[in-house]
Amino acid sequence: MVVGVIDSLTPVPPAAGTDRPRRSIAGMSAPVSTVEDAVQAALATVDDPEIRRPITDLGMVRSAQVGGDGVVRVELLLTVAGCPLKDKLRTDITAAVGAVPGVTGVEIEFGVMSPEQRQGLQAKLRGGGAAEPVIPFAQPGSRTRVYAVASGKGGVGKSSVTVNLAAALAARGLSVGVVDADIYGHSVPRMLGTDARPTRVEDMIMPPQSHGVKVISIGMFTAGNAAVVWRGPMLHRALQQFLADVYWGELDVLLLDLPPGTGDVAISLAQLLPNAEILVVTTPQAAAAEVAERAGAIALQTHQRVVGVIENMSWLELPDGTRMEIFGSGGGEAVAESLTRTIGAQVPLLGQIPLDTRVREAGDAGNPIVLAEPESPAAKALDRVADRLAVRRESLLGKPLGLKPAGR
């Protein structure tokens, strides 16, 4: 749901030799330019709900005219006639323009972009419209921290950890995106509480947002709960499209929820995003910890950094304050120590998340526990992990490094 290029926001100047027309709006006589400039300024405060940039910057407003009766008539061109956020745009524009002194009403007419206008918008968003999309997070100047959330086996709560970390980081004011890279077992949209579908602009995809988090998943492109039966090349292409064809904007953090194990997606990730940092999720159980070590050790072959280990379902807190270690203890610490020895670099245990039925309930309801129950022990533990990850990478591009030639 985006729109085309600005045709005109500036009134047509009067013919030579004529006086500039003036209109009386709500009893106030002023030059047309003054009124229309105020309307334009109001429109500039309205952001596109998907791209989060002013509609005037994006060229969404085709025209905005002030009538003699004080009614402002705005024309917008949508990329698709059935834009799902059409009502949101109508509400925001009406509120912004309606607050301009002297405006008595706002009428909005929606049109549809031409193919040329859609291509122009795509080129504008991509900063030049390169014929072959590139993955922005893999570029040398990228300031986005990319975290690949991995596990050795399924059932350890990797998706729950991903979703809650994303929501916690977004709540801190960071721009956050999530790629549901678990093609076969996708579950992130449900856990984030969205059933929205992406919007296409030519070959560019606008991701839905929920709780301030942009998200893309193969589940948004399948009918119902249909199974995805793909082999390696298809998985690679899907991940590539999620990273290159989706318009993410300027992200501070991108989280990828990987499928369990060290299969095709993990290999593709290393090829497409060699700068991604790996977060290993395990449970305290010895068997799960051993498998998690393998998932982390893939960094030796891919030359990626393991940023740390998260132990999930660490214990169950009983009403009397004691802890029941249902899955044993020490798994997360054992994985961190083993990976430190194997990789030869410090791999910390970032946090231990207690077992809490509210985590599951919040995920099923589409409202992550860090938002639904922020004072719960699990939410506080996840918040502490988010604090350690909430670091924006600063690009060194164009910055002096402070190096001096020897002998000076």
Distance of alpha carbon 175 from alpha carbon 390, whole angstroms = 11
26 and 169 in a common domain: no
The pLDDT of residue 14: 35
In a domain, 178, yes or no: yes
264 and 166 in a common domain: yes
Q: Is pLDDT larger for residue 389 or for residue 29?
A: 389
Task: Report the C-alpha dihedral over residues 206, 210, 216, 222, rounded to 10 degrees.
Answer: -100
Q: Is the pLDDT of residue 63 over 50?
A: yes
CATH code of 258's domain? 3.40.50.300
Model confidence at 126, pLDDT cuts 50, 70, 90, reads low
107 and 249 in a common domain: no
What domain range includes position 36? 22-125
219 and 315 in a common domain: yes
In a domain, 254, yes or no: yes
Are the CB atoms for 183 and 265 separated by under 8 Å?
yes
In a domain, 397, yes or no: no
According to DSSP, the residues that pair with 64 across neighbouring strands are 74
Section 88-93 average pLDDT: 89
Mean pLDDT for the chain overall: 80
Distance of alpha carbon 118 from alpha carbon 185, whole angstroms = 34
Distance of alpha carbon 376 from alpha carbon 355, whole angstroms = 11
199 and 114 in a common domain: no
* Structure-block tokens of residue 354: 């207690």
The pLDDT of residue 24: 33
In a domain, 399, yes or no: no
DSSP secondary structure, 270-339, as one string: HHH-TT-EEEEEE-S-HHHHHHHHHHHHTHHHHT-EEEEEEEEEEEEE-TTS-EE-TT-S-HHHHHHHHH
Model confidence at 291, pLDDT cuts 50, 70, 90, reads confident
292 and 265 in a common domain: yes
284 and 202 in a common domain: yes
| Of the candidates 236, 248, 246, the residue with the CA atom closest to the CA atom of residue 181 | 236
374 and 277 in a common domain: yes
240 and 94 in a common domain: no
Backbone angles phi, psi at 49, to 5 degrees: -60, -25
Angle between helices 32-43 and 86-98 (to 10 degrees): 140
Model confidence at 127, pLDDT cuts 50, 70, 90, reads low
Distance of alpha carbon 67 from alpha carbon 155, whole angstroms = 62
Last residue within a domain, chosen from 73, 93, 125 = 125
367 and 301 in a common domain: yes
Section 355-380 average pLDDT: 96
Of the chain, the end-to-end C-alpha distance in Å amounts to 58
Helix (H, G, I), strand (E, B) or coil at 13: coil
In a domain, 404, yes or no: no
According to DSSP, the residues that pair with 264 across neighbouring strands are none
Cβ neighbours of 142 (radius 10 Å): 19
The pLDDT of residue 132: 54
In a domain, 382, yes or no: yes
pLDDT > 90 in the chain, percent? 38
Tell me the chain's radius of gyration from C-alpha atoms: 26
Last residue within a domain, chosen from 82, 97, 125 = 125
141 and 120 in a common domain: no
Q: If residue 80 lies in a helix (H) or strand (E), which one and from where to where?
A: none
Distance of alpha carbon 54 from alpha carbon 51, whole angstroms = 9
220 and 369 in a common domain: yes
Place of tokens 């670099």: 345
Last residue within a domain, chosen from 125, 158, 191 = 125
CATH code of 102's domain? 3.30.300.130
Q: Is the pLDDT of residue 353 over 90?
A: yes
In a domain, 12, yes or no: no
What's the total number of domains in the chain?
2
In a domain, 407, yes or no: no
Q: Is the pLDDT of residue 174 over 90?
A: yes
Place of tokens 């002297």: 102
